[in-house]
């Protein structure tokens, strides 16, 4: 499983989320603290919003903890909205093009989870990507394909609906051609203004999703796992939820994936 963290609020240095907390994303990637989960050493990535509409994007295949560029970037770049991801691949070769977050125009997207038997229906998933977006298909991951499919379903105008429709299509493929568990998904994405997140699974093991507002920081962290073990006020988002984070407001609504008869 991968891990990720996002932030929305008063601008902070990226390191305040990515590397400084006791259970920061980079420490989580090392797996040294608890070690009940596999290490996340198969690449990492950052997407951050600044003056421009498009996010900055930094992705590499080294373990996050040993990259001096990452350390310097997170120590000097400030942002009011950013996402960070550490990856644990499942056997395939590591490549920058397979690292999260993915970005198209002003949208960025990252994901933790899996689609059952994806390798056997990868091509079918890629056929769900509209022609106009296909040049953005750079790697081979299910996550990038889901993002591009969701963009095609209208992410811009209807974030929740578009993600639900894209997920439904992937779920149908997993049910028809793949294996169980069909879908386990916890993702975050943004257009640079709002931060969105969803938690969903076809079984009882939806990957976790937490958020926490910090008064001192005037901002909110949204994460796959809490960043500090001794902070009691992390709020867990229940499975089947869609979150919209804007300013200091959280709006959580059901995330309903309508079963499809046909995948494509």
What residues make contact with a second copy under the rule CB under 8 A?
Answer: 30-32, 35-36, 38-39, 41-42, 48, 50-52, 54-63, 66-69, 72-73, 75-78, 89, 93-97, 119, 122-123, 126, 131, 134-135, 137-138, 140
List Cβ neighbours of 70 (8 Å cut-off, separation of 6 or more): 18, 26, 44, 46, 58, 60, 64
- Are 83 and 101 spatial neighbours (Cβ–Cβ below 8 Å)? yes
Question: Considering beta carbons, is residue 16 or 257 the nearer one to a second copy?
Answer: 16
- Shortest approach of a second copy to residue 35 CB, angstroms? 5
Query: Pick from 84, 88, 3, 96: which is nearest to 39 by CA?
Result: 88
- Shortest approach of a second copy to residue 175 CB, angstroms? 19
- Shortest approach of a second copy to residue 182 CB, angstroms? 20
- Are 19 and 26 spatial neighbours (Cβ–Cβ below 8 Å)? yes
Query: Pick from 89, 84, 74: which is nearest to 39 by CA?
Result: 89
- Shortest approach of a second copy to residue 261 CB, angstroms? 22
107: its two tokens:
């949208």
Question: Considering beta carbons, is residue 140 or 252 the nearer one to a second copy?
Answer: 140
- Shortest approach of a second copy to residue 55 CB, angstroms? 7
Specify whether 187 is catalytic. no
CA angle in degrees (0–180, nearest 5) for 248-253-259: 145
Backbone φ/ψ region at 105: left (φ over 0), alpha (ψ -120 to 50), beta = left
* Residues involved in catalysis: 2
């Amino acid at each position: 499983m991968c891990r990720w963290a996002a932030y929305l609020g008063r601008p902070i240095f990226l390191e305040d989320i990515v590397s400084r907390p006791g259970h920061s994303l980079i420490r989580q990637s090392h797996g040294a603290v608890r070690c009940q989960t596999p290490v996340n050493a198969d690449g990492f990535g950052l997407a951050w919003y600044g003056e421009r509409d498009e996010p900055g994007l930094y992705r590499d295949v080294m373990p996050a903890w040993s990259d001096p560029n990452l350390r310097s970037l997170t120590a000097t770049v400030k942002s009011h909205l950013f996402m960070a991801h550490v990856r644990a691949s499942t056997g395939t070769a590591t490549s920058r093009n397979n690292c999260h977050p993915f970005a198209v125009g002003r949208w960025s997207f990252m994901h933790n989870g899996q689609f059952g038997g994806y390798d056997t229906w990868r091509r079918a998933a890629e056929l769900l990507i509209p022609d106009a977006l296909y040049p953005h298909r750079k790697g081979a991951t299910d996550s990038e394909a889901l993002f591009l499919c969701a963009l095609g379903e209208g992410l811009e105008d209807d974030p929740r609906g578009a993600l639900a429709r894209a997920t439904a299509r992937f779920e149908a493929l997993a049910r028809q051609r793949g294996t169980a568990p069909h879908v386990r998904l916890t993702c975050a994405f943004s257009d640079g203004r709002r931060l969105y997140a969803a938690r969903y699974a076809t079984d009882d093991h939806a990957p976790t999703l937490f958020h926490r507002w910090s008064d001192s920081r005037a901002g909110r962290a949204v994460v796959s796992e809490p960043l500090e073990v001794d902070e009691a006020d992390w709020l867990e988002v229940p499975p089947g939820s869609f979150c919209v984070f804007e300013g200091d407001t959280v709006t959580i609504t059901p995330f309903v994936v309508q079963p499809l008869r046909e995948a494509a």
